């Protein structure tokens, strides 16, 4: 199996487990891609906890001023 195939298989296995509900991922911060500098500022200020999402969504909650 090529490296890419192995990585894809592992990712698919992980997504299947998450989709099954056996694993819950808590996202504590969400940032729009247009505000990509903000999560870096938050990390540097140690103002984050748990998972942080950087997403291309039109309306997104910003957790860091």
Q: Read off the pLDDT of residues 18-55 as tens digits, 9 standing for 90 and up.
A: 899 998 888 899 898 888 899 999 999 999 998 999 88
For residue 10, give every residue at least 6 positions away whose Cβ sits within 8 Å of its Cβ, in sequence order, or none: none
The residue count for the chain: 65
Q: Read off the pLDDT band of 65 (50, 70, 90).
A: very low
Q: To which residue do tokens 């998450």 refer?
A: 18
């Amino acid at each position: 199996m090529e490296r890419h195939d192995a990585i894809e298989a592992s990712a698919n296995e992980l997504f299947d487990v998450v989709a099954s509900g056996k694993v819950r991922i808590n996202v504590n911060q969400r940032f729009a891609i247009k505000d990509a500098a903000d999560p870096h500022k938050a990390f540097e200020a140690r103002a984050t906890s748990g998972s942080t999402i950087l997403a291309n969504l039109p309306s997104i909650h910003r957790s860091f001023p």
